[in-house]
Chain A
Amino acid sequence: MTAQTETRTRPVKVIAIVCNWCSYAGADGAGTARLKQPYNFRVLRVPCTGRIDPLLALKAFQKGADGVLISGCHPGDCHYSEGNYYARRKFELLDRMLPHLGVESQRFKYTWVSASEAARWQSVITEFVGHVQELGPREGRAL
């Protein structure tokens, strides 16, 4: 196997930045319910998606993440009332800009998963990791 095909096939690394109140609980629920999920993502828990600076996603890409998923409470359900409304604007811009910064759009996603939606978490993360795996590892990029 040549070095190149080896990197193509190595499992991708995905970072999921989730809010404490909904998506983390949802992911936790998926684990507790033993729903089958990909193994190659890491969860970062933050108090609220409103707190996530686009810098965190950019830095994840720069330091070798192949995909970044951001997930919070559904609009209207934010534990802090409105954090995710601010987040929505921020990440929409990030989502629109990333393709121009050398990151394919399938490598970034922001979505909403509530604490009770373990099954939704399973499908979101499985689908996302699947897309990223199709694109393969990011290597030799400016960001």
Chain B
Amino acid sequence: MSSTQDAIREAAKNALASGRVDYFIGWTQGHTPSEAIPAFIRRPEEVDRLIWSPLCHHNLVTFLKRKMPDPPESRIGVCVKGCDSRTLVALLQEGLVDRERLYVVGIPCAGVIDKRLVDALFTDEVTEIDFEGDLVTARTRMGESKEFALADVLLDQCGGCYSPNPRYADELVGDTLPESQGKPQFPGLEEFEALDSAAKDALLAEAFSTCIRCFACINVCPVCYCWDQCVNRSRRPALVGQKVDTKENTLFQMVHMFHVAGRCPSCGACDRACPVQIPLYLLHRKMNKELYEMLGFMAGMDVDEKPVFQTFRIDDVLGE
């Protein structure tokens, strides 16, 4: 793990020192050692701030999409994990980021942890998380401490990950991981799928009733790029209501889901960003499962592939 961290720092240092990039995006420690946050490094001597651990869940591709780079024409170095790289590939497929202005450092990733699972084990605030091999130690502000296995607190999508290795990178750091063979897994859906229509509806209604329309899910989504033109906000046409109630919130989330269809690899950034813990993964993962079963399509696997909804086959076996 630390060797990967060193390799990231080295790659960042080289990219900055050679003038290849204006700034480099990686992860650094947040306000406590229990958090990793995106870091924007401008000088080679600052690269020691960069870290790599299973806390580094942020999908940094978000910071490449339209209107995010500052200044807009910046040349940017960026770290991507396996799932992150698929969102980058999706943007590249549609020509939405300029490959020439990027320096992509790919990191094979064995999974990141779901901090919400750790938080749920304590009533106090978790302020420190350490990793030693497969063992995780979490400590709270008042000094309470617990140990558990890394596998128990990984994000559910990380178990059986179909693309642990970056699908696109200018430089790969760390050892590549074995790719899983066979059909991709879409975990966490069985319970939902087993519900009848009314129960699904009730589940979604409960989930969306708490939505506060903060747009964190949309803005953190690396492949949701309309930004100030977002139809969810537009008043001309006024298609999505601005009232915050269950019905309008539901439509709002559906619109987000359908508008990223074909680009969304279920990286889960929206789910983790949601301040009210709406299970957004459910919708997106279910959609991706349907897409896979429908056309055998998975988003962001190959830069040269066409996005599924921007192409067609005359012999698609669909509908009547």
6 tightest A-B contacts by CB? Answer: A102-B201, A142-B205, A85-B312, A96-B290, A92-B318, A54-B258
Please state if A92 and B254 are interface contacts (CB–CB under 8 Å): no
Number of interface residues of A (CB under 8 A): 34
Known: A62-B250, A88-B319. A55 touches B290 (CB 8 A): no
For the side of the interface on B, what is the size category? Answer: 35 or more
Report B's interface with A, CB cutoff 8 A.
192-193, 197-198, 200-202, 204-205, 208, 231, 239-240, 246-248, 250-251, 254-255, 257-259, 261, 283, 286-287, 290-291, 293-295, 308-310, 312-314, 316, 318-320
Verify if A116 is at the interface (C-beta below 8 Å from B).
no
**Closest Cβ neighbor of A99 among chain B residues:** B197
CB of A29, distance to nearest CB on chain B (Å): 20
Whether A59 is near chain B, meaning CB under 8 Å from some CB there, is yes
* Residue A90 is within 8 A (CB to CB) of chain B in the complex: yes
B287 and A142 form a contact (CB under 8 A) = no
- Surface stretch bound by B, among A10-18, A35-43, A104-112: A104-112
A128 to B316, CA, bound (A): 24
Q: List A residues at the B interface (Cβ < 8 Å).
A: 53-56, 58-59, 62, 75-76, 82, 85-86, 88-97, 99-104, 110-112, 141-143
Query: 26 A–B contact pairs at CB < 8 A?
Result: A53-B258, A58-B254, A59-B239, A59-B251, A76-B314, A85-B312, A85-B314, A86-B310, A88-B312, A88-B316, A89-B309, A89-B316, A93-B290, A93-B291, A93-B294, A96-B290, A97-B257, A97-B290, A101-B200, A101-B201, A101-B254, A102-B201, A110-B319, A142-B208, A142-B250, A143-B250
Report the minimum CB–CB distance from B284 to chain A (whole Å): 11
CB distance from B195 to the nearest CB of A (A): 9
Known: A76-B314, A102-B204, A142-B205. A93 touches B250 (CB 8 A): no
Whether the Cβ atoms of B197 and A102 lie closer than 8 Å is yes
| Beyond A59-B240, A102-B198, A142-B246, 20 additional pairs, beta carbon < 8 A | A53-B258, A54-B258, A55-B231, A55-B251, A55-B254, A56-B239, A62-B250, A62-B251, A85-B313, A86-B310, A86-B312, A89-B294, A89-B308, A89-B312, A93-B291, A96-B290, A96-B294, A142-B201, A142-B205, A143-B250
